[in-house]
Amino acid sequence: MSEADLPRERDVRCRRLLFRSWHRGTQENDLIFGPFAETYLASLDSAQLDRFEALLDCPDTDVFDWVMGGAPPPEHDHDVMRWLRGFCVERRTDPIPAGWSRSR
């Protein structure tokens, strides 16, 4: 593979991960992973993409518990998990998207 193929390969991988993030199997996890992926996927480095993908491979019930405050196993206690948790906490404290009126 040439260096010219690397950006294309990354783009394909990110699009695949974005699709997987919105099609987890449970709506709760879709609403956690989908917006997170839309917001941050492009800024993750290759190692972080690996860790994010590993989270997508975990059972929905486990990941939901870890994101909502349960202790993840050591192999999933990393920067991407902390970033995902922080993203969810931020969304829980202000669930109304920017630009929307609270009176709607």
CATH of the domain at 30: 1.10.150.250
Task: Quickly state the pLDDT bin for 104 (edges 50, 70, 90).
Answer: very low
Half-sphere exposure of residue 12: CA atoms within 13 angstroms, side-chain side: 5
Q: Is residue 33 part of a domain?
A: yes
pTM confidence score: 0.81
Is a pLDDT exceeding 80 seen at residue 90?
A: yes
Average of per-residue pLDDT across 87-97: 73
In a domain, 101, yes or no: no
Q: 77 with 67: CB under 8 angstroms?
A: no
Answer whether residue 13 is part of any domain: yes
Evaluate if residue 89 carries a pLDDT over 90. no
Could you list the residue range(s) of the whole structural domain that residue 9 is in?
5-93
Within 41-78, where are the H helices?
46-56, 60-67
Instruction: Measure the CA–CA gap between 95 and 97, rounded to whole angstroms.
Output: 6
pLDDT tens per residue, range 40-63: 999 999 999 999 999 999 999 999
| Structural domain includes residue 99 | no
CA distance 27 to 8: 30
64 falls within a domain? yes
In a domain, 102, yes or no: no
Q: What is the pLDDT of residues 3-36, one digit of tens each?
A: 556 788 999 999 999 999 999 989 999 999 999 9
Dihedral of CA 39/28/54/89: which sign?
A: positive
Q: Is residue 70 part of a domain?
A: yes
